[in-house]
Amino acid sequence: MAKSPLAPAQFPTLPNVAGVRFGTLAAGIKYQNRSDVMLAELAPGTSIAGVFTQSATRSAAVLDCQKKLGLPAAEGAAILVNSGNANAFTGHRGMASVEALSKALADQLKLSETRVFTASTGVIGEPLPHEKISTRMPELIADLDAEGIAMAAQAIMTTDTYPKGASAQVETPSGPVNIVGIAKGSGMIAPDMATMLAYIFTDAQIEQAELQGLLSLLNEVTFNAITVDSDTSTSDTLILAATGASGHRVSAQNLAFVEGLHQVMRDLAHQVVRDGEGARKFVEVRLTGAANDQDAKQHAKAIANSPLVKTALAGEDPNWGRIVMALGKSGAAAERDLIKIWLGDILVAEQGWVAASYSEERGAAYMKNAELVIAVDLGMGNGAATVWTCDLTHDYISINADYRS
C-alpha cells in the first residue's frame, strides 16, 4: 500500500525511556512476512493509566484491561499487542484467548496476570489463534530491547501506511524526563473516550490516580477530537505508562510535563488522521461562539463526519452549503443569521447569506491545498472546540471493500 501523501517524511528518532524494553514477533496471525506482535516490558512500580472504547461490543482485551487498571503496582508490568485479528465478538473464546496470553506472558516474566495488559486489532468476529503467540513467548522475550520502539510501532499496524511515533523531553525541577508514544490507526476512527491503539511511555514518577486524571483530560482534546469515518472501533485502547525510572517526580500541576504529554498525544492523533484510509486532505474544523463547549464539539463533529462535506473536500469543491447543512442537523443550538463561515481566512458566509466579499474562484483555489481549515463562529456564546478530520476518497471504498481479502 502506498504511503499516505500526508505522512511525515520519516519515523522520528525517539529517545529511550528508562524502564521500558520492546520486543516484536512475526506470528502470522493474518499478515505474512512481517512483525504482528508487540511486547513492552515495564519496570517494577510502573503506574499505568488508560482510556478505552465505550462501544457496547468492545473486545475481550478491552474488558480485561479495564478490570486491571488501578490494581497494586509494586511489581513490573507488560503490554502485549497483536495486529490482524481484533479478538472481538468471539464469545467465550475471546476471553479465553486473553487469559491464555496473559498467563503465558506472566509466567515467563514472573508477573501477576493482573499486570499484563493485552490488545488486539484487525478483523472482528474471527477467533484469535493465540497459540501462535503463546507458544513463542520465549522468542518474543528474547527480542526485548530498550531501543526497539520503532519495530514495535510497525508491528501494531493494520491498514496504516506508515508507523506513528512522537516524543518530548521535559525539564522538571529535579531533572529531565522523556515522553514517547506510538500509535496505529487509519480507518474505523471516531474515538469515543479513546483512540485506535496508542501507547505512551514516560520515565517520570507519578501516582496512578493522578496519571489517570491527566490522561483522561488530555484525551478529550486530542484522540477524542479526531475522526476519519465516524466509526468507533471495538478495540480502542490508549495506555500511558510511567515507569518512574528517572527518579524525577511530577504531578498534574507541573505545566511543562502536562504540555509535553499534550504535545505527544496531539502529534499522534494528527498522524492518525493524516493516515486516514485514502486521505489526501488534512482538515482542521474550528468552532467558536457556541452556547457552550459541548455544543461546539457537537457542531464540529457534525461537519467533520459529514460524508457530503468530506467528499466535497476530496473533490476540492468549496461547497460551503454542506457546512451549513451539517450545522443544521447537528442537534446543537444555532441561529442562522448569526453564523459566520470561513475557508481558511476567506469569509464565505454571514448574516444568513453568502458574504459579499466571497468569490467562488478564491474558494476553489484554497481547496487545492493539502491542509485546510474550516472555521465557524456561531455568535451565541463562548463555547469552542477543534476537531481534526480528512477527506473521503474513492480509495477509502477500495481499501474497505477488500479489507478481508
282-309 pLDDT per residue, tens? 999 999 999 999 999 999 999 999 999 9
Q: What pairing do the DSSP bridges indicate for beta strands 116-123 and 77-85?
A: parallel
Question: Does the pLDDT of residue 371 top 80, yes or no?
Answer: yes
The domain limits of the chain are: 20-274, 282-401
The pLDDT, as a whole number, for residue 189 is: 47
Q: How far apart are CA 349 and CA 323, in angstroms?
A: 10
DSSP 8-state symbol, 187: S
pLDDT interval class at 229 (50, 70, 90): low
Non-local (6+) Cβ contacts of 173 within 8 A are none
How many Å from the N-terminal Cα to the C-terminal Cα in the chain? 14
Question: Does the pLDDT of residue 195 top 50, yes or no?
Answer: no
pTM of the full predicted structure? Answer: 0.93
Here the cell at position 378 is: 456561531
Here the cell at position 237 is: 485502547
- Arch. (CATH architecture) of 282-401: Roll (3.10)
Question: Does the pLDDT of residue 42 top 60, yes or no?
Answer: yes
pLDDT, mean of residues 342-355: 97
- pLDDT top residue among 2 and 115: 115
Q: Does residue 121 carry a catalytic annotation?
A: no
What is the percentage of the chain residues whose pLDDT exceeds 90? 85
- Hey, how many other C-beta atoms are within 10 angstroms of the C-beta on 150? 17
The topology (CATH level 3) of 20-274 is L-amino peptidase D-ALA esterase/amidase (3.60.70)
Q: Which is catalytic among the residues 195, 222, 227, 389?
A: 195
pLDDT, mean of residues 99-118: 98
β-strand partners of 172: 175
DSSP 8-state symbol, 177: E
Q: What is the 3-state secondary structure (H, E, C) of 32-50?
A: CCCCCEEEEEECCCCEEEE
Q: How far apart are CA 190 and CA 380, in angstroms?
A: 27
